Amino acid sequence: MKTSMTNAQAAVISKSEAAVVSAMTNVYFAAQHTLASSLVPDLNRLCVLQGATQLNDLPVDCHT
């Protein structure tokens, strides 16, 4: 049981890391192209619509 919990924890951390890296890639893209930071949430949604499902694992609030 301990092994399965450890494996589950590693899987969740891996998914969270992928989501954060994807979101930060969008922030970096916006900064490189001098886009307003207010466009990043829309860029994240566009990426999800295009199939970047790892962003679905990122908990967000009404400001992101």
> Which residue type, as a one-letter code, is found at position 12?
V
User: pLDDT digit string (tens) for 11-43?
Assistant: 888 888 888 899 999 999 999 999 999 999 899
Record the pTM: 0.75
DSSP code of 51?
A: T
- Spell out where the chain has E strands: none
Predicted local distance difference test score (pLDDT) of residue 43: 93
pLDDT band at residue 63 under the 50/70/90 scheme: low
> Which residue type, as a one-letter code, is found at position 23?
A
Domain boundaries, the chain: 2-57
CA distance 31 to 12: 29
